[in-house]
Amino acid sequence: MTTQTVPKGKAAAQVKEAASAPVVSSEVAVKPINRREFLYYIWGASIAVFMAQTAGAIIWFALPRFREGEFGGIFTVDPATVPAVGSAPVPNPTGKYWLVNTANGLLALNMVCTHLGCLFKWVDANGRFECPCHGSKFEEDGRYIEGPAPRSLDRFAVRVITAAGVVESDASGGPVKIDGAERIEINTGKKIKGAGVGQA
Ligand code: FES
């Protein structure tokens, strides 16, 4: 037979207090959201989606779409490899341009004929570009000479980086002097249309 010890004094008071304390349930009552809260959450989610889309669009447009050395992107040219003034233009099939070093500066001519898109050739004997398809002819700097082509050859923007600063093609894609060039960039993503026949 067991004997039960009856608490006395302070212990007895604590037991009495515990017995009289309200019983707290471990289950939390879930209150259903009302219409106002529901609309608030929808509005918040819409704002978050809109912000994410905006950020994605900004990043998409900020990043270059083409890698360096890929047509549509930037091609870096070592100044030491640029043809001497008066020598034959040098083709870059990957970049789809002819590099021409004229007395007025460097040019990058789009390889595609402005008539119907054939690939023209440099004819050393005649000192000009000639298209084998329909006979259009162009000067060394891409200016139209004769044939069915509607305009001079298109150009790509040239950028020359020197210790003194940066020089870029003008709006016509005109030649850029390369004196003191440390690096040369051809931007095949920036094509400048040749002047129309009869235009300067
Ligand atoms: S495509 Fe060059 S002249 Fe016709």
94-114: per-residue pLDDT in tens? Answer: 999 999 999 999 999 999 999
Give 130's contacts (C-beta < 8 A, 6+ positions apart).
120, 121, 123, 136, 137, 138
For residue range 7-24, what is the model confidence (pLDDT) as tens digits?
566 655 665 665 565 555
Cα pseudo-dihedral 170, 172, 175, 180, rounded to 10: 20
For residue range 153-170, what is the model confidence (pLDDT) as tens digits?
999 999 999 999 999 999
Helix (DSSP H) and strand (DSSP E) numbers for the chain:
2, 11
- pLDDT at residue number 51: 92
Amino acid at 100: V
Q: Which atom of ligand 1 is nearest to the CA of 147?
A: 3
> Over 50: is that where the pLDDT of 2 sits?
no
CA of 13 to the centre of ligand 1 (A): 109
Lowest mean pLDDT among 28-42, 124-138, 153-167, 182-196: 28-42
For residue range 26-41, what is the model confidence (pLDDT) as tens digits?
566 777 888 888 888 9
- Closest residue by Cα to atom 3, ligand 1, is 134
Each domain of the chain, given as residue ranges in start order, spans 31-63, 74-192
Q: Is 148 in the pocket of ligand 1 (CB under 6 A)?
A: yes
> Over 60: is that where the pLDDT of 180 sits?
yes
More confident: 138 or 83: 138
Q: Is 115 in the pocket of ligand 1 (CB under 6 A)?
A: yes
CA of 43 to the centre of ligand 1 (A): 59
CA of 34 to the centre of ligand 1 (A): 72
Give 45's contacts (C-beta < 8 A, 6+ positions apart).
none
> Over 80: is that where the pLDDT of 71 sits?
yes
Class of domain 74-192: mainly beta
